[in-house]
Amino acid sequence: MAFWWSLLVLALAFAIGKFLLWLIPPKVPSIDVDASDVLDDGNQAQENSFIYVPPRGAAQQSGTKVQCYEPATMKYLGYVPALTADEVREQVEKVRKAQKMWAKTSFKQRRQFLRILLKYIIKHQALICEISSRDTGKTMVDASLGEIMTTCEKIHWLLSEGEKWLKPEYRSSGRSMLHKSARVEFHPLGVIGAIVSWNYPFHNIFNPMLAALFSGNGIVIKISENASWSGCFYFRIIQSALAAIGAPEDLVEVITGFGETGEALVSSADKVIFVGSPGVGKMGPPLAGRYDMGALCMHEHSEKLEGLVHDAIDKGAEIVARGSFGPIGGDAVDQYYPPTVIVNVNHSMRLMQEEAFGPIMPIMKFSSDEEVVKLANDSRYGLGCAVFSGNQSHAREIASQIHCGFAAVNDFAATYMCQSLPFGGVKHSGFGRFGGAEGLRACCLVKAVVEDRWWPYIKTVIPKPIQYPVAENAFEFQESLVEALYGLSIWDRLKALVSVLKVLTEQNSTNSSKLK
Ligand SMILES: *[C@@H]1O[C@H](CO)[C@@H](O)[C@H](O)[C@H]1NC(C)=O
Ligand SMILES: *[C@@H]1O[C@H](CO)[C@@H](O)[C@H](O)[C@H]1NC(C)=O
Ligand SMILES: *[C@@H]1O[C@H](CO)[C@@H](O)[C@H](O)[C@H]1NC(C)=O
Ligand SMILES: *[C@@H]1O[C@H](CO)[C@@H](O)[C@H](O)[C@H]1NC(C)=O
Ligand SMILES: *[C@@H]1O[C@H](CO)[C@@H](O)[C@H](O)[C@H]1NC(C)=O
Ligand SMILES: *[C@@H]1O[C@H](CO)[C@@H](O)[C@H](O)[C@H]1NC(C)=O
């Protein structure tokens, strides 16, 4: 009796001890990142705060500088260099050198790097969002959802599951290799190149960087010429965190420039990831009371949206609801597009064929499930779908038939918040997957390994009849062996096994030397 009691007390003490340990916060160093030059001091009269008038046409695509400005106000923010192909190759080589050291780090060390970043992000949410908001014109709440929450979710997923998906995975070895153990190993590829879009400048840099570094790679990220100012600040956060764990700072490089810069990266990295994510120009509460909808990042974009809507109206469509701009200065109107709901559309209209990427909602009627699937499927794109219905299983049935990369049932883009899931589309909406176990493993050299299971007792032996010089009945032996291993009926397999054994015992009497 006393024995059981002491065992119970011990177990209880163990549980309490574990609980107390769980209460102790992990020791994570804080990092400092200089933000003095990116803070908005609100002083519009400052010398370098003039209104930026971007040149129109092809001229902006070339040159040695990327000009940065706030799309919502056209306030000038400064410029960053446009790297040449040679400069890009130099950066890739620097990262390659640093990666050799990083590849040897443990998952424990990599998790500490993630925790340092997480701590900084949580403490500086407002700063990160404000910088993203100024550079892209999105609202603070949009930035919080799309930049901060997604990134924290990703870090949390890597902390809790990253190692599980990257450690060697044992697989079945089949019938002919029963004596072997078979596994898949995930090794770093080397230098990952990422070309990322402007819509979520923080998350689009952090997302590929986190996956690449956690899997032991280095990364060079080419950021968009439309969100370079914020990207250069976010890069400093990564550098500080690398320094804090004593990792080589060259492990991550953020490069700026235009198309040629990106092309040079594609040709020199070991693998290239293209990143975009859904949605911009959504409605939301204002940043510092200035706007009540997000500005569109690219100044020609509102003209493109207007073109799509006009084309649809010319072909018989009708606007049923449209938002208004509210109190925005005349100079900035160019940067906004009012939320627009449009009906009587069909697939003869450009609006239904091209990617609008703006706050336009075209509505079509349908009368059967087949029809709605056919309509949704009739597109060059296939990133994701959202199906809404009062009957959840009905919505699920339709979602499973639409040809695309992800589906949200009775929700919008919720799949992206589950960072354990892969992200990517079909048709013109991309190739490959990032995010989730699939995306993490895509940063790896996937290596198949077999070794003896009961070493040194059982090794692969080549049966006598098929050893050189092969026996006369070698093929007969193979035939029986195949049936013994893979036959569908257990009786046929046993019969074949008997033949196999017979050939093995007979082999002394018939050998190939008779053929001479
Ligand atoms: C921004 O995007 C537009 C449209 O894609 C492009 O024409 C322009 O060159 C980009 N860069 C800058 C700095 O505006
Ligand atoms: C699209 O709608 C217009 C106007 O309602 C109609 O004239 C045209 O035939 C339709 N095209 C298709 C492909 O349905
Ligand atoms: C959907 O589109 C894909 C590819 O374009 C095609 O293979 C498939 O048959 C289509 N399905 C339906 C129901 O239209
Ligand atoms: C919901 O949808 C499923 C699948 O389409 C259907 O079998 C079921 O009868 C529907 N339930 C109701 C209550 O309509
Ligand atoms: C086959 O030959 C080897 C020697 O060459 C002998 O040791 C063995 O017993 C033989 N087996 C049979 C089944 O005759
Ligand atoms: C093969 O047959 C020859 C005679 O035909 C014999 O001398 C030789 O020992 C045999 N080899 C084996 C491995 O049994």
- The fold adopted by the segment(s) 52-278 is Aldehyde Dehydrogenase; Chain A, domain 1 (3.40.605)
Ligand 6 atom 6 nearest Cα = 513
Q: What is the Cα–Cα distance from 281 to 359, expressed in whole angstroms?
A: 6
Sign of the CA dihedral with 166 first, then 117, 262, and 94 last: negative
Q: What is the Cα–Cα distance from 236 to 36, expressed in whole angstroms?
A: 12
Ligand 5 atom nearest residue 506's Cα: 13
425 contacts 431 by C-beta, under 8 angstroms = no
185 contacts 168 by C-beta, under 8 angstroms = yes
Q: What are phi and psi of 322, to 5 degrees?
A: -150, 135
Ligand 1 atom nearest residue 60's Cα: 9
| Cis status, amide bond into 469, omega within 30 of 0 | yes
Ligand 6 atom 9 nearest Cα = 508
Q: How far apart, in Å, are the Cα atoms of 209 and each of 35, 219, 443?
A: 21, 6, 11
Same fold, 52-278 and 313-427: no
Number of Cβ within 10 Å of residue 252's Cβ equals 24
51 pLDDT more than 90 = no
CB-defined site of ligand 6, < 6 Å = 508, 511, 513-514
Q: What is the Cα–Cα distance from 459 to 482, expressed in whole angstroms?
A: 19
**Token reading at 508:** 């002394």
Tokens 């050291």 found at: 101
Ligand 1 atom 1 nearest Cα = 226
Mean pLDDT calculated for residue range 303-316: 93
Q: How far apart, in Å, are the Cα atoms of 371 and each of 183, 367, 378, 400, 408?
A: 46, 7, 11, 15, 19
pLDDT recorded at residue 464: 83
Mean pLDDT calculated for residue range 133-152: 94
pLDDT recorded at residue 55: 54
333 pLDDT more than 70 = no
Note the pTM of the prediction, 2 decimals: 0.83
Instruction: Point out the ligand nearest to the CA of residue 465.
Output: 6
Task: Tell how far the Cα of 391 is from the centroid of ligand 4, in angstroms.
Answer: 6
The CATH number for 313-427, chosen from 3.40.50.1970, 3.40.50.300, 3.40.309.10, 3.40.1410.10, is 3.40.309.10
DSSP-derived 3-state class of residue 495: helix
pLDDT recorded at residue 456: 73
pLDDT recorded at residue 280: 31
Domain boundaries defined on the chain: 52-278, 313-427, 461-515
Ligand 4 atom 2 nearest Cα = 394
357 contacts 383 by C-beta, under 8 angstroms = no
150 contacts 158 by C-beta, under 8 angstroms = no
Percent of the chain whose pLDDT exceeds 70: 86
Ligand 6 atom nearest residue 512's Cα: 1
| pLDDT (tens digit per residue) in 238-289 | 999 999 999 999 999 999 999 899 999 999 999 998 875 443 324 333 333 3
Instruction: Point out the ligand nearest to the CA of residue 372.
Output: 3
More confident residue, 188 or 24: 188
pLDDT recorded at residue 169: 97
139 contacts 287 by C-beta, under 8 angstroms = yes
294 contacts 139 by C-beta, under 8 angstroms = yes
248 contacts 101 by C-beta, under 8 angstroms = yes
- Of 393, 396, 409, the residue with max ligand 4 atoms within 8 A of its CB, to mutate for a pocket test, comes to 393
58 pLDDT more than 50 = no
Q: What is the Cα–Cα distance from 325 to 230, expressed in whole angstroms?
A: 26
Q: pLDDT band for position 327 (50/70/90)?
A: low
112 contacts 155 by C-beta, under 8 angstroms = no
- Of 508, 509, 510, 513, the residue with max ligand 5 atoms within 8 A of its CB, to mutate for a pocket test, comes to 508
Ligand 2 atom 13 nearest Cα = 348
Edge-to-edge order in the sheet of strand 444-452: 169-171, 180-188, 444-452
More confident residue, 392 or 61: 392
pLDDT recorded at residue 434: 87
Q: What is the Cα–Cα distance from 195 to 185, expressed in whole angstroms?
A: 27
| Cis status, amide bond into 456, omega within 30 of 0 | yes
Task: Tell how far the Cα of 371 is from the centroid of ligand 2, in angstroms.
Answer: 16
Task: Tell how far the Cα of 132 is from the centroid of ligand 4, in angstroms.
Answer: 44
